[in-house]
Structure 1
Amino acid sequence: MKNKICVAVSGGLDSMVLLNLLLNISEIEPEVAHCNFSLRDQESNEDEIFIRNFCFKRNLICHVKKFDTFNFSKKHNLSIQMAARKLRYDWFEELLKTNSYEYMVLGHHFDDSIETFFINVFRGTGIKGLLGIPNKNKKFIRPLSDFTKKEILHYAKIKNIKWRSDSSNQEMKYLRNKIRSVLSTFYYSFSFSFHNGLKKTINYLHYENYLIEEKIEEIRKEITIEKKDNPFFWKIECKKIKKLKPLSFYLFKLFSPYGFRNINSMIHFIDAQSGKQLISKIYRIIKNRNDWILVSHQLLLENQNKTYIISNIKVFNKMFLPVDLEIFYDPEEENRKNMFLIDFDKIQFPLLLRTWRKGDFFYPFNMKGKKKLSKYYKEKKFSLLEKEHTWLLINGNGYIILIIGNRLDDRFKITESTKKILGIK
């Protein structure tokens, strides 16, 4: 059985050489994906027609997607190049999922890696930014990544491969094109030694980056109190973070993947008050006494305004609830241990299960007077995460019966006059 792959084809030299090479391999079954970014008017449409005709003549399946790149870049406040990149890779991910390809194959070559190297140097980067474009990244592979543009062009001429030129590659408003123009002088003067030296340098950087990543993983384990992936939850010991040297370097390596790149803010956050937060686009770090808790926004938001309706006792134990509860009607005396015992005659169905809301109050068990839940949580030193994931059992008249796993409302406790008991475990 042939391996099913998808080849990203722009119509330019690199992708056309790649496609022609892959067509000569009998073990694979290539399909083609072409992005029309609608940025070069008729030229973009002619690229699309060129690729469609090429695929039609060779009986290849051709996927084409037309994008309104300009409006997308404005809407998301991205440069044209970054907008095109996001649109392209999002669509490629979609194709991988829906078509069960072994790989998405891209036409990047070694000169692309050199350009990326210098772009990142120009912008400021660590070792990872100097590694160029990876040969393989999950299901994305780049078979031409060890070959230079000159070698690819030579092959195309020998094999009489046709391609289309992209006029935007000559526009000096793009940083990559500016760097490409400057580098062309070095290619001409030092062709072999320039490429060979940079290839060795990038290989050495790969080895060094591997050692750094191993050390970061070791540090990650040292500072971790608890970590879960689904849902994502990472509890970190502040004392151990404070001891890291160089602190700025480790903070960046550990937390920049979660969107935290303001290192000065993170250093100050080590000694912040409990309850304070640092927020990135997807994640937040909550200071919880002597720890940091890193979670996704989704984990904190998923329980807000969510309510479960419990119409009667029979359905209670059959319902899928976010908290593990069992309910018992008139439990035996010997089974009442570790249960919250409630006067059944004070219960009004339907009951509700939800998290706290502003203004909630209750009458704590065996205490006089009411107390706001916000104050109770503060006294108990609940973290923000604990507040958002502590569930309340609400009576039909709106009163809080029970803070699940924590405390009963005094109005619902059993007394000498109680006739029927509801046990909750």
Structure 2
Amino acid sequence: MPILNEIHFVKNILKKEFSIKKKNKICIAVSGGLDSMVLLHLFIKISNILSLSIEIAHCNFSLRKSESDQDEQFIKHLCYKKDILCHIKKFNILEYSKKNKLSIQMSARKLRYKWFDKLIQEKYYDYLALGHHLNDSIETFFINLIRGTGIKGLLGIPKKNKKIIRPLYSFTKEEIFNYAKKNKIIFRYDSSNQDQKYLRNKIRFIISSFSPSIYYYFYKGFKKSINFLYQENYLIEQNILKIKKQITSEQREYPFIWKINCNKVQQLSSIYLFKLFFQYGFSIKNIKQLCYAQTGKQLISNQYRIIKNRKELILIENEYFNLCKNKIYIITNFNVSNILLPIKIQFNIYREKIINIEKMITTNNILFIDFDKIELPLKLRTWRKGDIFYPLNMTGKKKLSKYYKDNKLSLLDKEKTWLLINGNNNIILVGNRLDNRFKITLKTQKILGIIL
């Protein structure tokens, strides 16, 4: 077993395992309990060696009433004494749990990591460190084993996930406690850790009852097994990445979108479908059915949706999809600021005499509109059921749903195509397609030029 001390922590953990460099900006998630207080103590002691910039993040879920508030005050006082910047977030976990139909533990996990990700982005941290250790990983192993899992679930808690790191992952609770005792570290006890209604606490109690000899060999053997599982899982993940590349027609990270070839998905075995789609909340059966469904059909999970579009499946985040839907932006004048708008738009007013209408209509960079037909305020929104417009160079009106279908727009494309709406609620533009009612004619006195 490794010995927990500052020298080992710097040389073999921070530098070797996580490649932490001098002047890195690190945020430590501190609950006030034993593990996070030891982690904080280690980082403070070696911060001068590596010239690290350290900040603290504390979550208050208010589940233990006065105890939770006392934890918060304990952290605030500590940060004041050590002159460390502290970020504290209070959550209404009971409301979130009820609204999303999740357990308290799952709700706390989701809220905590969502806030951590936000802090990492906003504060430009190089890493955010958590106090999870070997015992936590073993408990997670058994929890996943009892509930049913694959190799990935048997790996326990990962030591690193993007910018979130767990530097104590290879140390046992006993080693962490001995370090705290030796260095006289003050920490707070969490009474909920003794509550036997939680499966994790039940597993913890059983393992702690092992005799010292069994206890030693149990942890030693477990670490070996985890290392073997990591190697085997790496080979599997490499094969999954190869398969993913073969079925992907397009993928980007922000906004997240993954376009997948339906025909190639239909050829995959169930185990590959599980590996590729389970993490997004979709079952093998539903993915298979969607491949044969008609265009426009979709599946929706807590965070994602997957849409059938002809010979493709399009996977996106719900957050991005809902960003456009039912959103309205009001434009009250022609000196519009693009900061708050979903698209870049610029208005120019022209008073020159029209000489060549054909040339002005077909100019690529500018859409020319009869200014006198415009009524403020203008609106930007996406399509709604029943929308109609009169497409330029076409006879009569057309339902927007039919126009989208004729132009082979996917459900995603429909929801992110912005409409410019006149003050009288007539559609002026659909994307960059002008409504016939607003085109310039020889009678036009003043022209509004729109640059998109």
TM-score bracket, normalised by the shorter chain, equals 0.7 to 0.9
Secondary structure, counterpart of 1:118 in structure 2:
helix
Aligned positions of 1:27-46 closer than 5 A: 27=49, 28=52, 34-35=58-59, 37-40=61-64
Quick one: distance in 1 between partners of 2:89 and 2:422? 54
Structure 2 contact 379–423 (Cα < 8 Å) conserved: no
Tell me how far 1:191 sits from its aligned partner: 2.4
Secondary structure, counterpart of 1:194 in structure 2:
helix
Tell me how far 1:251 sits from its aligned partner: 2.6
Rg larger for: 1
Partner residue, 1:271: 292
Counterpart AA for 1:306:
I
Partner residue, 2:411: 384
342-351 or 224-233: bigger deviation = 342-351
Matched, 1:143 2:161: no
Query: What 5-or-longer segments of structure 2 have no aligned partner?
Result: 1-21
Aligned positions of 1:228-239 closer than 5 A: 228-239=252-263
Q: Size of the alignment, in residue pairs?
A: 416
Matched, 1:109 2:130: no
Structure 1 contact 105–143 (Cα < 8 Å) conserved: yes
Partner residue, 1:287: 308
Tell me how far 1:397 sits from its aligned partner: 5.8
Q: What CA RMSD, in Å, does the superposition of the two structures yield over aligned residues?
A: 4.4
Secondary structure, counterpart of 1:119 in structure 2:
helix
Aligned positions of 1:2-401 closer than 5 A: 5-25=26-46, 26-27=48-49, 28=52, 34-35=58-59, 37-40=61-64, 69=93, 73-74=97-98, 76-90=100-114, 92=116, 102-159=126-183, 161=185, 163-186=187-210, 188-244=212-268, 246=269, 248-257=270-279, 259-297=280-318, 298-299=320-321, 301-302=323-324, 304-306=326-328, 309=331, 322=343, 330=354, 332=356, 335=359, 338-339=362-363, 348-350=373-375, 352=378, 354=380, 355-363=382-390, 369-392=396-419, 399-400=426-427
Quick one: distance in 2 between partners of 1:343 and 1:231? 31
Tell me how far 1:173 sits from its aligned partner: 0.6
Quick one: distance in 2 between partners of 1:129 and 1:38? 30
Counterpart AA for 1:385:
L
147-156 or 300-309: bigger deviation = 300-309
Query: What 5-or-longer segments of structure 1 have no aligned partner?
Result: none
Structure 1 contact 308–321 (Cα < 8 Å) conserved: no
Tell me how far 1:269 sits from its aligned partner: 0.5
Name the CA shift for 1:218/1:397 in 2 (closer, same or farther; >3 Å).
Answer: same
Name the CA shift for 1:22/1:389 in 2 (closer, same or farther; >3 Å).
Answer: closer
Name the CA shift for 1:349/1:269 in 2 (closer, same or farther; >3 Å).
Answer: same
Tell me how far 1:156 sits from its aligned partner: 4.2
378-387 or 115-124: bigger deviation = 378-387
185-194 or 66-75: bigger deviation = 66-75
Counterpart AA for 1:172:
Q
TM-score, normalised to structure 2, is: 0.73
Structure 1 contact 15–107 (Cα < 8 Å) conserved: yes
Tell me how far 1:178 sits from its aligned partner: 0.8
Structure 2 contact 361–367 (Cα < 8 Å) conserved: no
231-240 or 80-89: bigger deviation = 80-89
TM-score, normalised to structure 1, is: 0.77
Q: Deviations over 1:271-319 (max 9, x none)?
A: 001111112233322211111222334346416453565967xx69x99
Name the CA shift for 1:86/1:357 in 2 (closer, same or farther; >3 Å).
Answer: closer
Tell me how far 1:369 sits from its aligned partner: 4.9
Structure 1 contact 309–350 (Cα < 8 Å) conserved: no
Secondary structure, counterpart of 1:236 in structure 2:
strand
Counterpart AA for 1:269:
L
Secondary structure, counterpart of 2:373 in structure 1:
coil
Secondary structure, counterpart of 1:212 in structure 2:
helix
232-241 or 76-85: bigger deviation = 76-85
Counterpart AA for 1:178:
K
387-396 or 138-147: bigger deviation = 387-396
Instruction: Report % sequence identity.
Output: 54
367-376 or 199-208: bigger deviation = 367-376
Counterpart AA for 1:283:
Y
Q: Deviations over 1:134-190 (max 9, x none)?
A: 223344332222112233334444555555544332221110011112223446452
Quick one: distance in 2 between partners of 1:374 and 1:308? 23
